[in-house]
Amino acid sequence: MSAIHVRVRAGGEHYALPVEDVREIARMGRITPVPGAQAQVLGVWNLRGDVIAAVDLAAALGLVGGAGDEAPERGRILVAERGELRAGLAVDEVVDVGALPETIEPTEGSYLEGMVLVDSTPVGIVDVGALLAAAERVR
């Protein structure tokens, strides 16, 4: 795993994704809802002719209920990719891109590898592989 991460804010909390798993950062565009999809799936999103699942990162991490709740409007989509798996992760904002401290504390959560402190702010390290595998199952 790279020491360089993309830090984001989702559901009022801070998270980081390894930069090698983030293909691009885009503005939130039109998302087409998918009837019967799980709460964290906002729908599908057209990325230059390629249709990909759009997942609310905060809802996937259990911070909000998802598309049905009165969740704040997400501002950016991170196109995350690992191997053959790809999805757009909707976040409130991108905080920065840079190195994280090496000390990773263990944490509970299906989609987290651990947690670090950055300027006294807890930052969850997202397990991109697990998150994308779950998004693939709900497509």
Confidence of residue 2 (pLDDT cuts 50, 70, 90): low
Can you tell me the distance from the alpha carbon of 54 to that of 43, in angstroms, rounded to the nearest whole number?
Answer: 5
Nearest in space to 124 (alpha carbons), one of 22, 26, 5, 24: 5
Q: Is the pTM above the cut of 0.95?
A: no
pLDDT, tens digit, 9 for 90 and up, residues 67-114: 444 445 668 999 999 999 999 999 999 999 999 998 788 888 889 999
Task: Give the DSSP per-residue string, 57-77.
Answer: HHHHTTSS--TTS-PPPP-EE
Total domains in the chain come to 1
Per the structure, the complete domain to which residue 39 belongs is given by 4-137
Q: What pLDDT, on a 0 to 100 scale, did the predictor assign at position 54?
A: 93
For residue 50, the domain's CATH number is 2.40.50.180
Sequence-distant (6+) residues with CB within 8 A of 50 are none
